[in-house]
Amino acid sequence: ASPRVAEWLETPAGVRWLDGPAGSRWLGTAEGAAWRASEDGALWAAGPRAARWFGPDFPSAGSWPVPAGAGSPVYGPEGGLPTLTRQWVHGSAAPLGPTPSERAVPPTAQVAELAGAGAAPTVATAATPSVAAAAAPNAVSAPEAFSAPPRGPAALSFPAYVPGPSVPGPAAAAGLYGSQQAQQSSSSTASSTVTVVPGAAPAPAPGPVVAVDAAGALYRYDGQSERERARDFRDRQDERERRNEGGALGREASAEREGRLRLAAQDHQERLEGATRADRQEGRDRQEREEESWRRERGQEAARGEREEAQERREREQELDRGERWGGTEVQDRKEARDKQEREEQRDRAERSGQAGREGRHCPLPP
């Protein structure tokens, strides 16, 4: 694309055309991508045909394929463009168009438009100007349906065309290519006509003027001075720099946000790993505590058993001691009883002996 194309794409109209729902829809379709990638599309966009048809001011004058609003006609040279471009011009995916004062014009032959509705449009070329005069009220004449570039003086029968306020309705506009819009528009929204006579330029009107030179190229003259153009260029450049700065700031903010997210993810992973390690350590500690508790319980049970056994031994020993004591008491009692009995017997014998002694003088002692 040339610098002028880049400048046009940065204007509000160009940005609106690219970013609008309809423009984005067309650029993103398979047909649009196929056309832009094709050799014809490349030649049309950057080759000599674009310069031949639209001249150095191609971006401004090249706004012809889009409608300017309800009831506005659309003109434009085809110049070898693919068929799908004709379908796009009058299709549902047509993007936002220029203002009424920026409409482009047919580059060749005579054009006579009569507003109306109903019958199909009639196409007339520069070689048959009488067809336009004899056309029905709803007829539209166009230069060979724009199927080929204009050649020779007959193709340049008027020097310039300035669109004015009296513009026919969509039926005439659709008739330029014979699209389905002519059938959809059964009634016209305006009844005035615009007639261009070969060899005569229409009266000037306010707004930009689109002229056709001898090579068939369109030029757009909007009356701006070089100072105004330079100021507009500087404004566009400043706007582009602001957008670039905003983009850089946005990228920096995005990088900072990604860094924060990455650090947060790392912290989360570390917390998870720390929690896992803590869980493992807690599990080991719990197992050790359980084993220690089990060992203590086993030790307590063993000590309890030992104490019970010692108690039982002590009890048995006490019982034995008690039995022995009981047995000793009986022996002692029997001994004491015998001794007592012996003492009593001795006393009795002593007493009997003493008594006998006293009585012995009279009785002999017993043997």
Question: What b/e sequence results for 132-147 when a residue is b if at least 16 CB atoms lie within 10 Å of its CB, and e otherwise?
Answer: beebeebbbbbbbebe
- The domain ranges of the chain are 3-223, 263-355
Cα–Cα distance between 313 and 319 in angstroms, integer?
10
Mean pLDDT over residues 63-70, rounded?
33
Over residues 85-100, the pLDDT tens digits come to 322 233 223 333 333 3
What SS3 state is found at 135?
coil
* pLDDT tens-digit readout, 137-193: 322 333 323 333 333 332 222 223 333 333 333 322 322 222 222 222 322 333 223
Stretch (H or E) spanning 275:
helix 226-358
User: So what's the pLDDT on residue 121?
Assistant: 31
Q: Is the pLDDT of residue 23 over 50?
A: yes
At 241 the pLDDT is: 80
- Rounded CA gap, 229 and 244, in Å? 22
- What band does 234 get if pLDDT is binned at 50, 70 and 90? confident
- When the pLDDT of each residue in the chain is averaged and rounded to a whole number, the result is 55
pLDDT tens track for 296-318: 999 999 999 899 998 998 888 88
Q: What is the pTM of this model?
A: 0.19
Residue 264 is predicted with a pLDDT of 87
